[in-house]
Amino acid sequence: MEGAIPTARMRAKAEVRGEIIAEARRQLAIEGAPALSLRAVTRQLGMASSAVYRYFPARDDLITALIVEAYDSLGEVAEAAVTPDGPAVDRWGALCRAIRTWALEHPHEYALIYGSPIPGYQAPELTIGPASRTTLALSGLVVEAFETGQLVGVGEEELTPAAAAEVGRVADLAMPGVPLPIVARAVAAWTQLFGQISFELFGQLQGVVEDPAALFDQSVTVMEAVVGLRPGSSNRA
Amino acid sequence: MEGAIPTARMRAKAEVRGEIIAEARRQLAIEGAPALSLRAVTRQLGMASSAVYRYFPARDDLITALIVEAYDSLGEVAEAAVTPDGPAVDRWGALCRAIRTWALEHPHEYALIYGSPIPGYQAPELTIGPASRTTLALSGLVVEAFETGQLVGVGEEELTPAAAAEVGRVADLAMPGVPLPIVARAVAAWTQLFGQISFELFGQLQGVVEDPAALFDQSVTVMEAVVGLRPGSSNRA
DNA sequence: TGTACATCAGTGAACGCGCGTTCACTGATGTAC
DNA sequence: TGTACATCAGTGAACGCGCGTTCACTGATGTAC
């Protein structure tokens, strides 16, 4: 029965399920998602390879569980990084740095959720919720900064009707009440943030950049100007 | 002998090598890099699986060839997209759109070069040259715009010494003569461009954005403001 | 409290598959005299 | 031009491996009377 008092069996089942996911996460961290094998996981756990099928109907479902875990892990870090008060610009910087730090500490998990899709794997809808936690932490800050008048002289590009429709949808979901040109700039900062992290993690800066943290900090400064969090630059003429 | 007149044998060897790469590229386009198999390639070509070893010492070398091909393919498109004249802002937009179009047409090749690294594969140094063609097309435009006075009132963030060192290195390689704050903003636009494309291709916009082209165009507009190509926004106070 | 039955976690063997790579070989192409 | 030899592209069998998934089963845990 759903929601009934858990029996010993139910508790045991949840526990073993957790152990399987934990071991899979461990192997993911070492080898990366494409190399993740059910057999290797069960081998490490000392159980028969066929036993996983009591817990996951197929390999893809284990991967889904790992994706949800990764989104939640980052989402939690992001939510915790948003300090309760202080200037919005500082909170934005801290949030961006926390996201990068998580990515550096969990490169394969980052690749799992923000990297190339796994061939043949189709992410089910249930991953959308956990996925949005991090995004909402970022957009929530923008909303708050806007409402408290901390967005100063942000450039306002005109929007075509098609762009206004798209940006409007984003605004409804994540930044209600914020003018569309500002929402568009927040989206730009969002892509810039993850673009920067992906470049660093996926080796695009290799051979050129020696101190990625310094470059990242500089890029965060630009992001802040793009969103309007940083006065003195990116202002309207 | 290196550089000697090619014998029939040499020509035949180069031709078969080309056919192997072509078939591998075809399979890459369908299945993606992780699923690429030497046996499948040779099977399709009607040759014994062991025959590839006359052309590539190992699977990784085939992948390297595909990476170089992909970088060159995109690089060529990027270079061709830079129109000889017209306002820099229009040329920048055209270039960005050309890069996105290529990515949409070659999603697996895009993932191969800009997506998660292939586990166990280490890209050799020889990929750096082809990789920089696209980057140089972008940075070249910024240099030109700067030299012809087409960068208007771009915000200039201060740089920490560490950031100045990093950005300075980038400037020396790709944007000599351009002031460091502008170079930093160009780097930001660069990460934003590929961040936006990766989000679209890797499914991060799924379930929210219905018309990615419209959002992309809007983001390009923001990029232009970030670099200073677009007057009227992103100006200094 | 005790017994009969149902549930179900976990086993172990098997299926069928594909992979990268090695190796001794054959036979056509090229080279030297 | 003709012959003897060297080169080397391509073959086919084999090695050794790991994978996801199925299936009939055993035996412990839980349920109903």
Q: Which residue of A has its CA nearest to B209?
A: A166
Using the predicted structure, report yes or no on whether residue A182 has a pLDDT greater than 70: yes
Q: Which two tokens stand for residue B187?
A: 């780097």
Count contacts between A and B (CB, < 8 Å).
Answer: 213
Q: Which two tokens stand for residue A67?
A: 């994706």
Q: How far does CA B81 lie from the centroid of its chain?
A: 13
Short-list B118, B207, B66, CA closest to A35: B118
pLDDT in tens, B162-219: 999 999 999 999 999 999 999 999 999 999 999 999 999 999 999 899 999 999 999 9
Q: How many CB atoms lie within 10 A of CB B44?
A: 14
Q: Is B88 exposed, middle or buried (0-12, 13-18, 19+ CB in 10 A)?
A: buried
Instruction: Write down which residues 18-47 in A have CB closer than 7 A to strand C.
Output: 46-47
* Rounded Cα–Cα distance for residues B152 and A230 (Å): 19
Using the predicted structure, report yes or no on whether residue A236 has a pLDDT greater than 80: no
- For residue B140, report the phi and psi dihedrals to the nearest 5 degrees: -60, -40
Using the predicted structure, report yes or no on whether residue A3 has a pLDDT greater than 60: no
B117 to A125: CB separation less than 8 angstroms, yes or no: no
For chain B, the average pLDDT equals 93
Which amino acid appears at position B84 of this protein?
P
Scanning A49-108 for CB atoms below 8 A from B yields: none
B158, B160, B173, B191, best to mutate vs chain A, most A CBs in 10 Å = B191
Specify the pLDDT at position B4.
52
Short-list A20, A202, A148, CA closest to B119: A202
- Is the distance between the Cβ of A26 and the closest atom of strand D smaller than 7 Å? no
| Residue A219, C-beta contacts closer than 8 angstroms, at least 6 positions apart | A192, A193, A196, B184, B187, B188, B191
Specify the pLDDT at position A5.
63
For chain A, the average pLDDT equals 93
- Is the distance between the Cβ of A7 and the closest atom of strand D smaller than 7 Å? yes
Decide if B219 contacts B92 (C-beta within 8 A): no
* Rounded Cα–Cα distance for residues B104 and A24 (Å): 32
| Residue B209, C-beta contacts closer than 8 angstroms, at least 6 positions apart | A166, A169, A170, B200, B215
- For residue B234, report the phi and psi dihedrals to the nearest 5 degrees: 60, 25
Q: Which two tokens stand for residue B94?
A: 């055209």
Decide if B189 contacts A223 (C-beta within 8 A): no
pLDDT grade for B73, boundaries at 50, 70 and 90? very high
* Rounded Cα–Cα distance for residues B228 and B155 (Å): 8
Specify the pLDDT at position B153.
77
pLDDT grade for B235, boundaries at 50, 70 and 90? very low
Q: How many CB atoms lie within 10 A of CB B167?
A: 27
Decide if A125 contacts B207 (C-beta within 8 A): yes
pLDDT-wise least confident of A136-140, A142-146, B69-73, B84-88: B84-88
| Percentage of the residues of chain B whose pLDDT score is greater than 70 | 95
Scanning A160-199 for CB atoms below 8 A from B yields: 160, 162-163, 165-167, 169-170, 173, 184-185, 187-188, 191-196, 198-199
Residues in chain A: 237
A151, A222, A223, best to mutate vs chain B, most B CBs in 10 Å = A222
Q: Which two tokens stand for residue A182?
A: 């500002």
Instruction: Write down which residues 41-80 in A have CB closer than 7 A to strand D.
Output: 43, 49-50, 53, 58-60
Q: Looking at residues A121-130, what average pLDDT do you find?
A: 90
pLDDT in tens, A186-228: 999 999 999 999 999 999 999 899 999 999 999 999 999 999 9
A116 to B115: CB separation less than 8 angstroms, yes or no: yes
pLDDT grade for B236, boundaries at 50, 70 and 90? very low
| Residue B67, C-beta contacts closer than 8 angstroms, at least 6 positions apart | B112, B113, B123, B127
Q: Looking at residues B120-139, what average pLDDT do you find?
A: 93
With an 8 Å Cβ cutoff, is B2 touching chain A?
Answer: no
Short-list A122, A32, A108, CA closest to A74: A108
Q: Which nucleotide is nearest to A48 (CA to C1')?
A: C11
* Rounded Cα–Cα distance for residues B168 and B25 (Å): 37
pLDDT in tens, B84-117: 889 999 999 999 999 999 999 999 999 999 999 9
Using the predicted structure, report yes or no on whether residue B27 has a pLDDT greater than 50: yes
Specify the pLDDT at position A153.
78
Q: How many CB atoms lie within 10 A of CB A31?
A: 15
Report DSSP letters for chain B, one per residue.
-TTSPPPHHHHHHHHHHHHHHHHHHHHHHHH-GGG--HHHHHHHHTS-GGGGGGT-SSHHHHHHHHHHHHHHHHHHHHHHHS-SSS-HHHHHHHHHHHHHHHHHH-HHHHHHHHSSPPTT----GGGHHHHHHHHHHHHHHHHHHHHTT---S-------HHHHHHHHHHHHHH-TTS-HHHHHHHHHHHHHHHHHHHHHHTTTTTTT-S-HHHHHHHHHHHHHHHHT-STTSBB--
pLDDT in tens, A60-82: 999 999 999 999 999 999 999 99
- Is the distance between the Cβ of B9 and the closest atom of strand D smaller than 7 Å? yes
Q: Which residues of B touch A120 (CB under 8 A)?
A: 35
Using the predicted structure, report yes or no on whether residue A234 has a pLDDT greater than 50: no
* Region of residue A207 (left: phi > 0; alpha: psi -120 to 50; beta: else): left
Specify the pLDDT at position A72.
97
Q: How far does CA A204 lie from the centroid of its chain?
A: 20
* Strand D nucleotides in reach of protein CB atoms, 7 A cut-off: 8-14, 18-24, 29-31
Q: How far does CA B198 lie from the centroid of its chain?
A: 12
Specify the pLDDT at position A37.
96
Report DSSP letters for A104-138, one per residue.
HH-HHHHHHHHSSPPTT----GGGHHHHHHHHHHH
